[in-house]
């Protein structure tokens, strides 16, 4: 492992197909930094140049709800992204925690929505928004949420490990927008809008949206957030404002104590749709699946057929016929 000159390795934070993430110490500035080493892959010159440009664009963006990229440095055939280090876990670790209040969940969504809006304003799309890419620290008034790996889904597609082939894509099924499944290179802010809607649903409903599951509270709003047509989707900021406008206690039946252990049973047919997660995960992170019972209505009678008599009636008729035959045989034998 080669770090940019002057950095001292503290420990490895994670290893993935794209490379490694490590915690390093910058003795000159007296601060800890997270370093993401992205492998250059087969087409070294082209991919490194592309990643350097994208990394530099990320470094120019500053927002309190986005992990700051300090700089992008070429290290041999790799690119090292020096980033802000946040000493806290990602949102995945809090999803099923009943102590994580509704107010805190809505605050996380508000901060993430603000970060997305700032990024989209300068032409940067995340492409892989999910709980594992949202770092959370503190609680109550000290609660802070920061979006990580902004744009790295696209950077990683330039690497050999993440090239879009053999069923791999730079998004996470369940969170990726339907149009990403059709065209992995599709890139507009509205793919992030869809992913944000899934994250919000996961936070406030306890599951990701599944076929056969009613949205319940705010049903029409969820339909807009998770619309299959990008033109029909609601922006993250508008979604948060609408969610906050719902009456107090609206989420209590869902987010009660231990809600993650016993998701609510769907009470009707499909009203919220999401594309089926039928592709391979683009990362090893747990996308936050929770099994829920799926309502399946009884099959409708086939056309052209009418309902027959009950089975008990048919059985009685059959027994009567058999008894009649038996009596007839006895009469014949007695003659």
For 107-148, write each residue's pLDDT tens digit: 999 999 999 999 999 888 999 999 999 999 999 989 999 998
The total of other beta-carbon atoms located within 10 Å of residue 134's CB is 25
In a domain, 294, yes or no: no
Rounded CA separation 70/34 (Å): 10
Beta bridge partners of 9: 24
Q: Is the same domain home to 236 and 110?
A: yes
DSSP-derived 3-state class of residue 137 = strand
Return the CATH number at 55.
Answer: 3.30.200.20
Q: Is the same domain home to 219 and 108?
A: yes
Q: Is the same domain home to 105 and 220?
A: yes
Q: Is the same domain home to 79 and 199?
A: no
DSSP-derived 3-state class of residue 76 = coil
Final residue of a structural domain among 213, 244, 261: 261
* Confidence category of residue 241, pLDDT binned at 50, 70, 90: very high
In a domain, 158, yes or no: yes
Catalytic residue IDs: 128
Q: What is the pLDDT averaged over residues 322-329?
A: 45
Binding residues for ATP: 36
In the predicted structure, residue 236 carries a pLDDT above the cut 80: yes
Binding residues: 36
Report for 78-87, 130-139, 287-296: range of highest mean pLDDT: 130-139
Query: To the nearest whole percent, how much of the chain has pLDDT over 90?
Result: 34
Q: What is the pLDDT averaged over residues 252-263?
A: 46
271-288 pLDDT per residue, tens: 333 333 322 222 223 333
In a domain, 43, yes or no: yes
pLDDT for the residue numbered 208: 87
Q: Is the same domain home to 212 and 254?
A: yes
User: Is the whole model's pTM more than 0.85, yes or no?
Assistant: no
In a domain, 227, yes or no: yes
* Confidence category of residue 233, pLDDT binned at 50, 70, 90: very high
In a domain, 319, yes or no: no
- As a 3-state breakdown, the chain gives helix, strand, coil percent values, each rounded to 5, of 35, 15, 50
Q: Is the same domain home to 107 and 148?
A: yes
Q: Is the same domain home to 195 and 228?
A: yes
Residue 105 neighbours by CB under 8 Å, 6+ apart: 203, 204, 255
Q: Is the same domain home to 142 and 17?
A: no
Q: Is the same domain home to 215 and 122?
A: yes
Contact 262, 209 (CB under 8 A): no
Return the CATH number at 232.
Answer: 1.10.510.10
Rounded CA separation 117/114 (Å): 5
Q: Is the same domain home to 257 and 148?
A: yes
In a domain, 180, yes or no: yes
pLDDT for the residue numbered 307: 42
Identify the domain containing residue 140 by its residue range.
91-261
Final residue of a structural domain among 68, 84, 100: 84
- The closest alpha carbon to 197, from 320, 314, 318, 109, belongs to 109
Residue 71: burial class (beta carbons within 10 Å; 0-12, 13-18, 19+): middle
In the predicted structure, residue 303 carries a pLDDT above the cut 70: no
Residue 289 neighbours by CB under 8 Å, 6+ apart: 174, 208
* Confidence category of residue 34, pLDDT binned at 50, 70, 90: very high
Q: What is the pLDDT averaged over residues 43-47?
A: 57
Q: What is the pLDDT averaged over residues 14-39?
A: 86
Domain count across the chain: 2
Final residue of a structural domain among 84, 100, 129: 84
Q: Is the same domain home to 95 and 166?
A: yes
Size of the chain in residues: 335
Q: What angle do CA 61, 67, 71 make, to 5 degrees?
A: 60
In the predicted structure, residue 28 carries a pLDDT above the cut 70: yes
In a domain, 60, yes or no: yes
Query: Using alpha carbons only, how large is the chain's radius of gyration in Å?
Result: 28
Residue 299 neighbours by CB under 8 Å, 6+ apart: none
The total of other beta-carbon atoms located within 10 Å of residue 3's CB is 17
Q: Is the same domain home to 186 and 142?
A: yes
In the predicted structure, residue 259 carries a pLDDT above the cut 70: no
| Dihedrals phi, psi of 281, to nearest 5 degrees | -60, 140
Rounded CA separation 58/155 (Å): 11
In the predicted structure, residue 228 carries a pLDDT above the cut 50: yes
In the predicted structure, residue 205 carries a pLDDT above the cut 50: yes
In the predicted structure, residue 56 carries a pLDDT above the cut 50: yes
Q: What is the pLDDT averaged over residues 62-74?
A: 90
In a domain, 215, yes or no: yes
pLDDT for the residue numbered 124: 87
């Amino acid at each position: 492992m080669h770090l940019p000159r002057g950095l001292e390795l503290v420990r490895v934070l994670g290893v993935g197909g794209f490379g490694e993430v490590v915690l390093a110490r910058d003795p000159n500035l007296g601060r800890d930094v997270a370093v993401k080493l992205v492998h250059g892959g087969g087409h070294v010159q082209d991919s490194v140049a592309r990643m350097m440009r994208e990394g530099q664009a990320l470094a120019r963006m500053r927002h309190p709800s986005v992990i700051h990229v300090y700089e992008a440095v070429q290290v041999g055939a790799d690119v090292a992204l020096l980033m802000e280090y946040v000493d806290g876990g990602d949102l995945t670790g809090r999803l099923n925690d009943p102590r994580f209040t509704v107010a805190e969940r809505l605050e996380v969504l508000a901060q993430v929505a603000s970060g997305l809006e700032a990024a989209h304003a300068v032409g940067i799309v995340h492409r892989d928004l999910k709980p594992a890419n949202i770092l959370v620290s503190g609680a109550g008034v000290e609660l802070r949420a920061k979006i990580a790996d902004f744009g790295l889904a696209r950077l990683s597609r330039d690497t050999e490990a993440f090239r879009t082939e053999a069923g791999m894509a730079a998004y996470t099924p369940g969170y990726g927008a339907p149009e990403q499944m059709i065209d992995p290179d599709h890139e507009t802010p509205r793919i992030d809008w869809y992913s944000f809607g899934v994250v919000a649903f996961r936070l406030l409903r306890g599951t990701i949206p599944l076929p056969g599951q009613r949205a319940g509270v705010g049903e029409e709003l969820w339909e807009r957030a998770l619309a299959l047509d990008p033109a029909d989707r609601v922006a993250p900021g508008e979604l948060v404002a609408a969610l906050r406008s719902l009456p107090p206690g609206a989420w209590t039946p869902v987010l009660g104590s231990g809600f993650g252990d016993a998701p609510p049973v769907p009470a009707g047919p499909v009203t919220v749709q999401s594309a089926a997660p039928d592709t391979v995960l683009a990362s090893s992170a747990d996308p936050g699946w929770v099994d829920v019972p799926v309502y399946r209505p009884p099959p409708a009678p086939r056309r052209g057929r009418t309902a027959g008599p009950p089975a008990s009636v048919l059985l009685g008729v059959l027994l009567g016929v058999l008894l009649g035959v038996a009596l007839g045989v006895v009469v014949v034998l007695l003659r």
